[in-house]
Each structure stands twice: as structure tokens, then as C-alpha cells.
Structure 1
Amino acid sequence: MSVELTDHGPHPFVIDIEEATLANTNYRTTLWTGPNMQLTVMAIAPGDDIGLEVHDDHDQFLRIEAGRGKVQMGPAEDDLSFEREVEDDFVVLVPAGSWHNITNIGDEPLKVYSLYAPPEHEHGTVHPTKADDHGHDH
């Protein structure tokens, strides 16, 4: 891969997002952080999940590039009334204030890229594993 998997924001930037998403092996890597938006790539191990969370002040867009996932969303932590299965080429749109989780239900890593508006993580964030995601409010 010709582009380094590091945070290139807030400078003008282009990337082959499918190539970058499939090449990423970290739980989370930020690729671009600007004042109003952030791009991250994620790799979720089989049987693992992103972790139930809610973002009160921003929307989130996720696209599945490889693998199979179960999406759960709802108005409360104990009310995840929206549930769908997703695979390659699906997108998930999470409105601000909606509790959500994605679980890898396949037998290969779930490769995802995600856009947050406004940004969710500090510029340059890299979480090699889910356990490295300390301080993130799930």
C-alpha cells in the first residue's frame, strides 16, 4: 500500500478507501481528522464487537468492506429495537443520540471505515486492539 495508515488531516487528502480499509489490522486507526469530520478504519475480530456506545452530539456513517456483521441500534442502552445483518458494501447510518453496536458474526475480520461528524477521537488516534480504547465512553 502506497499511503501510510496514519492521520493525514486536516490537510487536503485522497486515498483508496477500500484498499486502506482492507489493509488495516488495528482495531481502530484514524486516517483523517479535520475541524468538522473524521475518517477512521476498523478491524473487528470474529465474535468481537465495536462496543455498545452512544454519541450525543454527532452522526456516524460506517461502511462494511469485508466480513459480516450484526447491527443493533435503539433509543436506550437496554432498548436496541433496530437489528439488521450487514456485509460487504453495506452502510450503517447512526443518528446522534442512538445507542449502537456492531458485532462480527462471520469467521473473518470485519473491515469497516467510519466517518464521524464532528470528530470523535483525538487526531492521530491508533488503537491496535479493542482493549487499547481506554477512556472512550461506551
Structure 2
Amino acid sequence: MTEKSFTLDGNVQHFTIADVAKENSGFRKVLWTGEHAQIVVMTVPVGGEIGDEVHPQTDQILTFISGTGHADLNGQTHPIEAGDQCAVPAGARHNFRNTGDEPLVLYTVYSPPEHAAGGVFATKEDADAAEAAGEDTPARG
């Protein structure tokens, strides 16, 4: 299958998002970054997790394409599966864990952007190292 993404005009993009997300073999890939929002695909391996975090000034909407897991949202745990969507308001503590037997595939929209434009990380460890080094921060205008 070929990744279905193309530029229409300037920074305007078209995605067949479920296909793009399923084809992502790495942990995190930033697909598009605008001034006020960002689209990212993620693949969480079996037994893996996104990591417990809080985005103080960023809302996040996650849509799950395949796999199963648990969403930890402000101290409450909820099962998640393909077709589910979670809205995480700025300031909410959250984590998403793969508790199934296949990769947990999702796409997420951050508003405003949370990661550096064009960032691609094969593993959570690579992503965490880039964040710790200050190499995965969005440009703020």
C-alpha cells in the first residue's frame, strides 16, 4: 500500500489518515504542522505506552485506528480500541497504554502544536531523548 498523502497548495495537505497511520512503523511521526494545530501519527508497540504526561497549554484529540489498550485520564482508566476517540484538555494528566496483542495505532491532533515540525522517531526512547535535549519543541511565533 502506498502512503496516501499529498500537498494541495503551499502548506495545505490531504491525508487518508487511517492508511497513513497504519503504514507508520515508528513510534511518532509529525505529518503536518500549522500555526494553531498539528497532526501526528503514532504506533505504540505491544506492552508499550505513550508515557504519563501533561501538556499545560495544549489540547489533544486522539483517534485510535487499530489495537487495544487503556487510557489513563486524570486518575481514571478507560479501555480503548479501534474507532475510539479521546479528547484531552490542556492541563490533564494522561497516558495511553497498549495492553493488546498487536500495535496500538492512532493519530492525534494537538492545538497548538506540541512537537517540532517534521519530527520522526522510531522508538519512544528516541522521542524522549529528543524532548530531553530540547530537539522536539515546536516553533512558536
Please confirm whether the aligned pair reaches a TM-score higher than 0.5, indicating the same fold: yes
State yes or no: 1:102 paired with 2:102: no
Q: Could you tell me how far apart the structure 2 residues matched to 1:135 and 1:98 are? A: 23
* 1:136 counterpart SS class: helix
Structure with more contact order per residue of length (Cα contacts < 8 Å, sep ≥ 6)? 1
What CA distance in whole angstroms lies between the structure 2 residues aligned with 1:69 and 1:2?
A: 25
- Residue 3 of structure 1, CA deviation: 3.7
1:127 is matched with which residue: 121, 125, 128? 121
Question: 1:18 corresponds to which letter in structure 2?
Answer: A
Matched residue count: 130
Gaps of 5+ in 2: 133-141
Q: Partners of 2:87 and 2:3 in 1: how far apart?
A: 29
Separation of aligned partners in 2, 1:60 and 1:49? 16
Q: List structure 1 runs of 4+ shifted beyond 2 angstroms.
A: 2-5
The amino acid that maps onto 1:132 is: D
Distance across 2 between alignment mates of 1:101 and 1:136: 17
Once residues 80 and 47 of structure 2 are traced to their aligned partners in structure 1, the CA distance between those partners, rounded to angstroms, is 15
TM-score, length of structure 2 as denominator length = 0.86
The residue aligned with 2:77 is 83
- CA deviation string 1:7-28 (max 9, x = no partner): 99x7011110010011111100
- Which range moves more in the overlay, 127-136 or 63-72? 127-136
In structure 2, how many angstroms separate the alpha carbons of the residues matched to 1:104 and 1:21? 16
Unaligned runs of 5+ in 1: 75-79
Equivalence for 1:33? 33
Percent of counterpart pairs with the same letter?
A: 35
Give TM-score, length-normalised by structure 1.
0.88
Matches within 5 A, 1:64-75: 64-74=64-74
SS of the residue aligned with 2:53?
coil
